[in-house]
Amino acid sequence: MEEYHPLEPFLPENAKVLFLGSFPPPRQRWCMDFYYPNFQNDHWRIEGAVWFNDKNHFVDLEQKCFNKDKIVEFLYEKGIALYDTAQVVRRLKDNASDAFLEIVEPTDLRALLRQMHQCHAIATTGEKATGEVCRYYGVDHIKESSLC
């Protein structure tokens, strides 16, 4: 069964960096209606540790969820945009693993970037997203381990 991306691109006008993941996890794993919504995913903990020296900066420990308002405010302040490399997918297993995610319709990255006049960098949040960006632009996919 095909699954369509449930979120609109998050594109602050001042966005200088675009973070691209692959695709959100199944909705039953969400703790908020935003990007990287799975409380088991460490994306927002890493952002908190890097920017604020506090891995729980964006975490509501009592509610076991992330603080979306705090995240959105941070993203606007820093000029960070978010989206994914897939518009439509098929989950080959009922989980969030990229290994079992078949991309049916990739994101049109050029169209996305045309909306971001100040963007000068793309960051990917995993191997599948990196591979999709490389495929889209026709460059060799460099695995993280080969960069060292």
pLDDT per residue, tens digit, the chain (148 aa), is: 899 999 999 999 999 999 999 999 999 999 999 999 999 999 999 999 999 999 999 999 999 999 999 999 999 999 999 999 999 999 998 777 888 899 999 999 999 999 999 999 999 998 899 999 998 988 876 655 444 3
In this prediction the pTM is: 0.88
Domain assignment present for residue 94? The answer is yes
Q: What's the total number of domains in the chain? A: 1
pLDDT at 41: 92
pLDDT at 51: 97
Domain assignment present for residue 98? The answer is yes
Instruction: Let me know: does 8 contact 81? Beta carbons within 8 Å.
Output: no
Domain assignment present for residue 108? The answer is yes
Domain that holds residue 30: 2-37+78-140
Instruction: Let me know: does 71 contact 19? Beta carbons within 8 Å.
Output: no
Longest dimension (CA), the chain: 46
Domain assignment present for residue 43? The answer is no
Domain assignment present for residue 73? The answer is no
Domain assignment present for residue 49? The answer is no
CATH of the domain at 130: 3.40.470.10
Three-state SS for 2?
Answer: strand
Domain assignment present for residue 68? The answer is no
Q: Which of 125, 138, 141 is nearest to 20 (CA)?
A: 125
Domain assignment present for residue 99? The answer is yes
